[in-house]
Every structure is written in structure tokens, then in C-alpha cells.
């Protein structure tokens, strides 16, 4: 049987793969009857041989191929080079498609892919076999339903307000969302999860204080920035972690300013910056309106210098952060 699992939601793709494995049979028998192939390099002969190997002491075998569809994605370039690549891809995908269609009854072949374009010739060929399942990133009502199901499966319940806040903090990354939901269910211990639980427990809630600290640093409000730093350290945040979060946020602000200057749409900017959290994007977008590029660059370079000072042992983590804030804000260090 052929299964083609594609899309940006890698978490759901991996869950679907787990369900396929469970449906094949005994897990211990499957271990000796599973082959994983690199789709970027596999030849039609290798694919045919892996699929045609008779299962050992079992009824079925599993072959997993990753990166195969990406191999045949149309690539940008000038017309002549693009035409040559398209011809090579067309010849290659047809041989692969023949090997896939010749699957024996005892083999389950799973082809895994990311976001694949509709012009992909191999995807079109496999779609005709009614074997393709698409997993886009969940948003809005779909994400809400997913969270509700995850909580219910864990034996808990969650308020609509808590779901909205959780979605705002985490966005559509289900790997992070699953971890945060599971943590909240354990924390709530049977009672309904509320907004206060999300604010207290979800790791992304720290972002709010980091955003406020970035604002305070950029606006030369050293006392406020140091107060927020003390609060985060008391809550158990590691200095190295805070430095990474601060640097990342300032980098996002600068990238968003630059990309907006190029006239790109918000959705395209979100994709290029690599943000799945609408909450983080919205805050960085707002901050990009308020600060001059020169100030943003200055702060970012000083953050990198502080990181180097910590990693080379020239300065202890907490002290490096306090000194950094004081220097950028034009004030004295007070720990």
C-alpha cells in the first residue's frame, strides 16, 4: 500500500506515520522489516529492491522514503537552465513512479515530504493513485479544535480564553503546542485550565517580559530593563537563555524592518523570518515601527558581544546581562 504524507505540519505527519506503523502489526517484528531511504539519492532500482524484499517472520514490511518529492520540485533560474532541469526531473520521476506503482502487496511504502508545490511532477503522478494526504499548518478554528482534543485525550478541560491565549503565544507549531498542552494538563491536575495557568506555565509567556525588556533597552529605560531581568532570573530563566531570546527578538525586529522596506506582504515576511507564532510576529512588527535601524543594529551587536564574553569566560552570565543593560541604557549597574 502507498501512503504519501506531505505538508508543513510535520507533527501531524509523524503522528500519521505512527498510525501506519501500528496498523502494520507487531512493533518488534516491524523493527526488522523497516527500511528508511534517502529520497534525494535513491535510485529506482534501490527503491524496487527495498520494496520487493520479502518480510522476515512477518506478513508485511515498511519502506519509508524522505526527501523524494523535494528532489523533483521545480527550481528557480533562467529559462534555459530551468528547461534543462525540468527535462532531467521529468525523466527521473517517471522511473521512480514506475517503481512505486510496482509495489508488492506485502509492502507499505510511505513517502514523506514538506510543503510541495502543485507543479511537482511526481506528486501529480502519485495524486492520481489517491494516496496523497496533505497536512497544512493549523490555524484559527482548526487549531482550537486540535487543542481541545489534545486536552480531552489527557482527561482534562480548558477554557476558550485559555485556548486563545495559548494559540497567541505558541502559534501553529504543534511540536511546541503538544508539549505545552501536556505540561498544562499535568499542572492543572484535573481542574479546568484557565488563562492564569497559561501565563504562569507556558514557556512562551516569558516572551512577554523579553519584549518589554527589549522595549526598555531600546528606549534607554535602564531601571525598567533591570527590573524585568531580575524578575526573569527569579523565575528560573538562565542568563544564556535570556541572551538568546533578546538577540533573537532584536534580530526579528531588524529583519522585519528590512523586508517591509522591500514591499513584501506580511505573510511572506513571516515565512522568510521563520516565525510560526503570530504573537511573536505581531510584537516584533509593532516594535519595528518604533525604533530607528541604527539603534536596533547597535543593540544587536552589543548582545552578540555579551554572548561572546560569556562563552569565552571573560564574564559571568548574570553580570554580563546587567552590564549590557546598564551600558545600553546609559545607567549604572545595580544587581
Please give the Cα distance from 212 to 264 (Å, whole number).
27
Is the domain of 126 the same as that of 148?
A: no
On whether the CB atoms of residues 137 and 271 are closer than 8 A, the answer is no
Is the domain of 121 the same as that of 213?
A: no
Is the domain of 228 the same as that of 151?
A: no
Domain boundary among 134, 163, 191: 134
Average pLDDT over residues 116-145: 90
Show contacts of 293-298: CB within 8 Å, 24+ apart: 293/254, 293/257, 295/218, 296/218, 296/250, 296/253, 296/254, 296/257, 297/254, 298/328
Is the domain of 16 the same as that of 117?
A: yes
**DSSP one-letter code for 231:** H
In the chain, what's the furthest Cα-to-Cα distance? 74
Is the domain of 209 the same as that of 172?
A: no
On whether the CB atoms of residues 212 and 282 are closer than 8 A, the answer is no
pLDDT digits (tens, 9 = 90+) for 227-271: 888 877 776 677 877 888 788 888 888 899 999 989 888 888 988
Tell me what percent of the residues of the chain surpass a pLDDT of 70.
90
Is the domain of 222 the same as that of 323?
A: yes
Where is average pLDDT lowest: 205-219, 279-293, 300-314? Answer: 205-219
Tell me what percent of the residues of the chain surpass a pLDDT of 90.
31
* pTM of structure: 0.63
Is the domain of 184 the same as that of 94?
A: no
Please give the Cα distance from 216 to 163 (Å, whole number).
29
Does residue 25 lie in a domain region? yes
Q: Which helix (H) or strand (E) covers residue 121, if one does? A: helix 121-127
Question: Does the pLDDT of residue 196 top 70, yes or no?
Answer: yes
CATH of the domain at 245: 1.20.272.10
Please give the Cα distance from 233 to 239 (Å, whole number).
7
Per the structure block, which three cell numbers stand in for 244? 538568546
On whether the CB atoms of residues 118 and 9 are closer than 8 A, the answer is no
Q: Determine the pLDDT at residue 259.
A: 92
Is the domain of 28 the same as that of 92?
A: yes
Please give the Cα distance from 225 to 215 (Å, whole number).
8
Does residue 240 lie in a domain region? yes
Is the domain of 123 the same as that of 224?
A: no
Is the domain of 91 the same as that of 195?
A: no
Average pLDDT over residues 110-134: 91
Give the pLDDT band (50/70/90) at residue 204: low
CATH of the domain at 61: 3.40.50.300
Average pLDDT over residues 160-175: 84
**DSSP one-letter code for 158:** B
Number of domains comprising the chain: 3
Most confident of 138-147, 172-181, 245-254: 138-147
Domain boundary among 134, 154, 178: 134
What's phi and psi for 297, nearest 5 deg? -65, -40
Does residue 334 lie in a domain region? no
Domain boundary among 181, 201, 221: 201
Please give the Cα distance from 180 to 188 (Å, whole number).
12
Is the domain of 179 the same as that of 209?
A: no
pLDDT digits (tens, 9 = 90+) for 245-256: 788 888 888 899
Domain coverage including residue 187 = 140-201
Question: Does the pLDDT of residue 85 top 70, yes or no?
Answer: no
Is the domain of 109 the same as that of 152?
A: no
Amino acid at each position: 500500500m502507498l501512503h504519501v504524507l506531505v505538508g508543513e505540519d510535520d507533527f501531524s505527519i509523524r503522528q500519521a506515520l505512527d498510525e501506519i506503523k501500528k496498523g502494520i502489526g507487531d512493533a518488534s517484528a516491524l523493527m526488522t522489516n523497516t527500511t528508511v531511504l534517502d529520497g534525494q539519492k535513491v535510485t529506482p532500482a534501490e527503491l524496487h529492491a527495498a520494496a520487493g524484499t520479502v518480510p522476515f517472520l512477518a506478513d508485511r514490511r515498511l519502506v519509508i522514503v524522505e526527501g523524494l518529492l523535494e528532489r523533483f520540485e521545480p527550481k528557480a533560474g533562467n529559462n534555459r537552465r530551468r528547461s534543462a532541469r525540468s527535462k532531467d526531473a521529468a525523466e527521473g520521476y517517471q522511473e521512480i513512479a514506475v517503481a512505486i506503482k510496482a509495489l508488492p502487496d506485502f509492502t507499505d511504502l510511505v513517502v514523506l515530504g514538506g510543503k510541495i508545490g502543485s507543479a511537482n511532477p511526481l506528486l501529480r503522478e502519485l495524486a492520481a493513485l489517491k494516496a496523497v494526504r496533505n497536512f497544512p499548518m493549523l490555524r484559527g478554528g482548526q487549531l482550537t479544535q486540535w487543542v481541545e482534543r489534545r486536552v480531552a485525550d489527557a482527561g482534562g478541560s480548558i477554557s476558550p480564553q485559555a485556548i486563545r491565549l495559548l494559540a497567541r503565544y505558541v502559534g501553529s507549531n504543534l511540536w511546541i503546542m503538544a508539549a505545552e498542552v501536556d505540561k498544562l494538563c499535568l499542572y492543572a491536575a484535573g481542574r479546568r485550565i484557565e488563562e492564569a495557568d497559561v501565563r504562569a506555565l507556558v514557556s512562551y509567556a516569558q516572551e512577554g517580559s523579553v519584549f518589554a525588556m527589549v522595549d526598555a533597552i531600546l528606549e534607554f529605560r535602564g531601571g525598567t530593563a533591570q527590573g524585568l531581568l531580575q524578575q526573569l532570573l527569579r523565575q528560573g530563566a538562565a542568563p544564556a537563555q535570556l541572551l538568546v531570546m533578546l538577540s533573537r527578538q532584536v534580530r526579528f525586529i531588524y529583519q522585519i524592518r528590512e523586508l517591509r522596506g522591500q514591499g513584501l506582504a506580511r505573510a511572506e515576511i513571516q515565512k522568510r523570518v521563520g516565525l510560526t507564532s503570530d504573537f511573536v510576529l505581531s510584537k516584533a512588527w509593532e516594535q519595528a515601527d518604533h525604533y530607528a535601524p541604527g539603534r536596533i543594529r547597535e543593540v544587536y551587536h552589543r548582545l552578540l558581544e555579551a554572548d561572546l564574553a560569556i562563552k569565552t569566560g571573560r564574564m559571568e552570565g548574570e553580570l554580563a546581562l546587567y552590564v549590557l543593560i546598564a551600558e545600553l541604557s546609559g545607567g549604572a549597574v545595580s544587581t
